[in-house]
């Protein structure tokens, strides 16, 4: 894998675009709903949590608040610094350790296995996402669980056809000019499923993330957050809606 993609120098813009919008809030709420059962099932057990490409560290706070130790990693020193500040403000710093490194360097830094591995919106930025999955597996404890969220190629095709971008779809979703904060390598769910099978990993739960928001023709409807969230939580683990989420969240363990 290459050193891939960094958001250095644009942390503020990235944060506003991702985390301060309804898109980001929907994503966070869905992930929190999905992962709460992992906390409930842990009971008195002390979970070891690894957050790969953890960004601002919003999601991992649910584990830190429960008293668990979180190893937070990201490729950007700027984003890790922002995550530290956020966790300090929330009074959670004692539950964190931080590493500035891309995924491919983590095996040299971390010599332990984890009960929970979080990897959200990372694979679509990497030169070799299949190898990245193999690396993630090395961090899973025997009974560990992987929370994987990735940009859904099928949903990107659907959205662009709906909005009339036929040439873009015919060009296999390739453009001459890339947008720095837009992932250019959405993943085929069929490919990811095959990679996981080859690694001896199994998907125990699938969820679509933003199954409706991104398809709304009236952009004003995207501001109806409470209604959209209620619909997401009601339908996003049901067929056919689960498969058209802009992102897919898969919960995974050893087969």
Query: Which residues are known binding-site members?
Result: 27, 53-54, 74, 120
Binding site, annotated residues for S-adenosyl-L-methionine = 27, 53-54, 74, 120
Residues β-bridged to residue 99 = 73
Q: How far apart are the first and last CA of the chain?
A: 25
* CA gap 87, 152 in Å, rounded: 30
Distance of CA 169 to the CA centre of its chain: 24
Question: Could you tell me which of 31, 99, 100 has the C-alpha nearest to residue 62?
Answer: 31
């Amino acid at each position: 894998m290459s050193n891939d993609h960094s958001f250095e120098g644009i942390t503020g813009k990235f944060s506003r675009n991702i985390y301060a919008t309804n898109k980001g809030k929907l994503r966070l709420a869905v992930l929190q709903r999905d992962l709460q059962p992992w906390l409930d099932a842990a009971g008195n057990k002390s979970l070891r949590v690894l957050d790969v490409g953890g960004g601002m560290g919003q999601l991992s706070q649910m584990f830190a608040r429960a008293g668990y130790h979180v190893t937070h990693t990201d490729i950007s020193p700027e984003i890790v610094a922002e995550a530290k500040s956020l966790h300090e403000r929330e009074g959670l710093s004692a539950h964190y350790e931080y590493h500035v490194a891309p995924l491919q360097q983590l095996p040299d830094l971390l010599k332990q296995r984890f009960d929970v591995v979080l990897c959200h919106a990372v694979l679509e930025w990497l030169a070799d996402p299949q190898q990245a999955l193999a690396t993630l597996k090395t961090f899973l404890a025997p009974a560990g669980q992987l929370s994987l969220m990735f940009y859904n190629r099928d949903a990107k095709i659907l959205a662009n056809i709906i909005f009339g971008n036929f040439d873009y779809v015919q060009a296999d979703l390739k453009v001459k000019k890339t947008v720095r904060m837009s992932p250019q390598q959405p993943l085929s769910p069929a490919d990811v499923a095959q990679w996981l099978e080859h690694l001896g990993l199994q998907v125990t739960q699938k969820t679509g993330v933003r199954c409706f928001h991104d398809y709304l023709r009236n952009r004003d409807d995207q501001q109806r957050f409470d209604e959209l969230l209620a619909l997401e939580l009601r339908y996003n683990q049901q067929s056919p809606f689960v498969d058209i989420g802009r992102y897919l969240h898969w919960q995974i363990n050893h087969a």
